[in-house]
């Protein structure tokens, strides 16, 4: 199924089908609101004085709604057409970005935050936009960095974790460098060093979660630096576990002991297992690999240093579930 339906430009004659690939009915009363002819303000005859301007506004709104819908739906199914859908959508968005920048950026931000299971899809889409036009890519990546900065300041740790995952995958798409991501990870690890506190465990948890998604790219591009961060994480988890032996960061699972399990220890064990397998996680799709040659030519962007919050109450820090 072509996710672009009848919207894609330059692809030959437009098929008379709806967005689900079904034949459109020719009867006027079955048309969707944005398919019906504009009547203007002059009644059914359509001779209102503002018909032209009203029609242009309606057409622009319809196009923005269609663009938003395409961004939301892409990758809903990991189908054989995903590569074609991503490529076609990136072409459409790059062409119309200057006219509908606010809509595209707003929708992209919402999708990354609210559809975290599609992070590989949206990171690849961002990479393709960057490869086609570095200015467009810069605007996308700058927006997401600003959202991350604001989420940090507000203590929105769920959003912070999801956004760091997005940036981890941007190393794979060549939108940012491994050094840039490592600096972002260090912004979490350095304040946590030697601090066996809620803040420290929160920061290290997010750094560990990011490393799981970035491990493969960092292993290829900065293996020594990756090992340094892994060692820092292991040292923190060991010290935190010893310091909180009677009051560990826990969660009670259905098959866990009554006292629960130490989430940081559990996550560290998972990281070790994934590292031993070459940082391959079969459950995570890698659509960026289908565009390796195109992404390799992309411009990489530098990002400002992250600033960690210093005035949040201890109880506001994220406790892993």
Tell whether the model's pLDDT for residue 89 goes beyond 60. yes
C-alpha pair distances (Å), 188 with each of 144, 233, 265: 18, 11, 18
Point out which residues pair with 23 in neighbouring strands: 17
Higher pLDDT among residues 284 and 247, named by residue: 284
Q: Encode pLDDT of 22-39 as tens digits.
A: 454 444 444 433 333 444
pLDDT of amino acid 34? 33
pLDDT interval class at 128 (50, 70, 90): very high
Tell whether the model's pLDDT for residue 147 goes beyond 60. yes
Tell whether the model's pLDDT for residue 114 goes beyond 90. yes
Q: Average pLDDT, stretch 36-43?
A: 42
Q: Encode pLDDT of 187-198 as tens digits.
A: 999 988 877 788
Higher pLDDT among residues 284 and 133, named by residue: 133
pLDDT of amino acid 255? 44
Higher pLDDT among residues 76 and 127, named by residue: 127
Tell whether the model's pLDDT for residue 166 goes beyond 80. yes
pTM of structure: 0.76
Q: Average pLDDT, stretch 284-306?
A: 92
Q: Average pLDDT, stretch 95-123?
A: 94
pLDDT of amino acid 320? 54
Pair of tokens at residue 137 = 């890519």
> How are beta strands 261-262 and 250-251 bridged, if at all?
antiparallel
CA 61, CA 63: separation in Å to the nearest integer? 5
For the chain, give percent helix, strand, coil, nearest 5.
60, 0, 35
pLDDT of amino acid 248? 44
Q: Encode pLDDT of 202-260 as tens digits.
A: 999 999 999 999 999 999 999 999 999 999 999 999 988 887 665 544 443 344 444 55
Tell whether the model's pLDDT for residue 122 goes beyond 70. yes
Tell whether the model's pLDDT for residue 16 goes beyond 80. no
pLDDT of amino acid 319? 63
The residue whose two tokens read 């959003």 is 159
pLDDT of amino acid 315? 83
Q: Average pLDDT, stretch 118-134?
A: 96
Pair of tokens at residue 130 = 């960057």
CA 77, CA 166: separation in Å to the nearest integer? 19
CA 207, CA 227: separation in Å to the nearest integer? 13
One DSSP character per residue, 42-69 reads SGGG---TTHHHHHHHHHHHHHHHHHHH
pLDDT interval class at 88 (50, 70, 90): very high
């Amino acid at each position: 199924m072509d996710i672009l339906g009848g919207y894609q430009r330059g692809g030959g004659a437009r098929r008379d089908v709806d967005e689900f690939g079904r034949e459109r009915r020719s009867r006027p009363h079955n048309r969707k609101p944005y398919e019906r002819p504009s009547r203007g303000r002059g009644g059914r005859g359509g001779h209102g004085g503002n018909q032209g301007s009203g029609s242009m506004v309606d057409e622009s709104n319809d196009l923005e709604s269609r663009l938003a819908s395409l961004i939301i739906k892409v990758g809903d199914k990991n189908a054989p057409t995903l590569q074609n859908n991503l490529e076609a959508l990136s072409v459409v968005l790059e062409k119309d970005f200057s006219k509908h920048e606010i809509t595209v950026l707003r929708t992209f931000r919402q999708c990354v935050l609210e559809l975290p299971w599609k992070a590989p899809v949206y990171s690849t889409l961002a990479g393709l936009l960057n490869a086609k036009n570095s200015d467009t890519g810069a605007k996308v990546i700058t927006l997401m960095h600003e959202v991350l900065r604001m989420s940090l300041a507000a203590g929105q740790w769920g959003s912070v974790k999801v956004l760091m995952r997005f940036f981890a995958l941007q190393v794979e798409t060549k939108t940012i460098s491994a050094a840039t991501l490592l600096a972002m990870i260090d912004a979490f690890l350095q304040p946590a060093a030697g601090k066996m506190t809620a803040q420290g465990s929160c920061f290290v948890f997010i750094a560990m979660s990011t490393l799981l998604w970035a491990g493969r790219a960092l292993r290829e591009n900065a293996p020594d630096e990756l090992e340094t961060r892994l060692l820092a994480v292991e040292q923190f988890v060991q010290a935190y576990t010893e310091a909180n032996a009677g009051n560990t960061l826990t969660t009670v699972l259905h098959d866990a002991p009554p006292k629960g399990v130490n989430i940081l220890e559990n996550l560290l064990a998972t990281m070790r297992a994934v590292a031993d397998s070459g940082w391959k996680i079969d459950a995570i799709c890698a659509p960026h690999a289908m565009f390796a040659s195109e992404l390799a030519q992309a411009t990489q962007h530098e990002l400002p240093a992250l600033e960690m919050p210093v005035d949040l109450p201890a109880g506001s820090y994220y406790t892993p579930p």
